[in-house]
């Protein structure tokens, strides 16, 4: 209907995602019907999220059972919300570590000392303080999603965290927002607010997480579900996979840093601000993040 190139590309992407989702859905469903042995031979050995979702849906009561159309829609949601965001966060983290080799080395030493050449158990992984600080600071300063939009369901009076002065000179403490108003929520604006995080709010400093956070942060009443940040949103529409995302970041960083070194490329990387930000080189619209990757000399052979 719309000849615009961007619209046609989006239509093509939606079509491909639906086709692949349908293909995966049919394979998982067929394996589930054939029994545990067939499920075990699938990718993920039955521990992947789609196998778990389908099994739970089969066992659910008729009232709670999801129609197949909704399960297919959930698959696209998992791909969009669960892959691009975390991969972007990892890309940003590796870029920053390439710019700060001393931080990269310190983080690598912490990982190697804890692992001693063996895979890290969950409790050990989540207990690494510097790894946690690096991840938190990256998610604070470079949240993969910069802003989201919400529409009010009813008239609401929104209190301001700090009073402002209107054009008429009067002090404003709250704003009336009528029903059906689209509100832009600036996640990065909150995460980088100097009134909350201090004058160094726009600087990447993992060490800030190794000491108790100042009262301006802990007392700010930020509604986010994670570390006084809005990175994963808050309330009933907050990211349900934020714990998994953190764990995934830490696992991947541990695996990569124990085997490889990362240095800056001579190519300039631009970060495109879209629904989920992504890196490009030059004027290319395609995602690309060149880095110089080397084998770590102390890497233990797999």
CA atoms of 65 and 43, how far apart (whole Å): 25
CA 65 to chain centre: 29
- Counting runs of H as helices and runs of E as strands, what totals does the chain give? 12, 8
Beta-bridge partner residues of 281: 269
Q: Is 135 annotated as a binding residue?
A: no
CA atoms of 136 and 84, how far apart (whole Å): 18
Beta-bridge partner residues of 157: 176
Burial call 256-278: b when 16+ CB within 10 Å, e when fewer: bbbbebbeeeeeebebeeeebbb
Token reading at 19: 């086709």
CA 117 to chain centre: 28
227: region left, alpha or beta (phi > 0 left; psi from -120 to 50 alpha): left
CA atoms of 299 and 295, how far apart (whole Å): 7
Q: Which residues are annotated as a binding site for heme?
A: 239
Q: Which residues are annotated as a binding site?
A: 239
């Amino acid at each position: 209907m719309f000849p615009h190139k961007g619209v046609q590309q989006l239509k093509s992407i939606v079509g491909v995602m639906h086709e692949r989702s349908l293909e995966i859905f049919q394979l998982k469903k067929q394996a589930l019907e054939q029994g545990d042995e067939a499920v075990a031979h699938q990718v993920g050995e039955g521990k992947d999220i789609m196998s778990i979702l389908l099994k739970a849906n089969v066992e659910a009561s008729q009232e709670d059972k999801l129609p197949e159309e909704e399960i297919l829609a959930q698959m696209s949601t998992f791909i969009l919300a669960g892959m691009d965001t975390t991969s972007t966060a990892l890309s940003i983290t590796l870029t920053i570590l390439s710019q700060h080799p001393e931080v990269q080395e310190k983080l690598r030493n912490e990982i190697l000392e804890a692992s001693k050449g063996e895979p890290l158990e969950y409790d050990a992984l989540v207990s690494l303080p510097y790894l946690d600080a690096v991840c938190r600071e990256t998610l604070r300063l470079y949240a993969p999603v910069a802003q989201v939009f919400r529409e009010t369901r009813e008239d609401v009076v929104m209190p301001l965290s700090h009073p402002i002065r209107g054009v008429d000179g009067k002090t404003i403490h709250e704003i009336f927002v009528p029903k059906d108003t689209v509100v832009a929520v600036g996640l990065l604006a909150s995460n980088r607010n100097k009134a909350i995080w201090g004058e160094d709010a726009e600087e990447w400093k993992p060490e800030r997480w190794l000491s108790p956070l100042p009262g301006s942060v802990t007392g700010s009443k930020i509604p986010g579900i994670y570390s006084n940040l809005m990175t994963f949103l808050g309330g009933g529409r907050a990211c349900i996979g934020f714990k998994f995302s953190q764990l995934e970041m830490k696992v991947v960083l541990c695996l990569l840093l124990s085997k490889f070194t990362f240095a800056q490329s001579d190519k300039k990387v631009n970060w495109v601000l879209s629904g989920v930000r992504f890196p490009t080189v030059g004027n290319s619209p395609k995602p690309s993040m060149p880095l110089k990757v080397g084998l770590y000399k102390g890497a233990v052979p797999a």
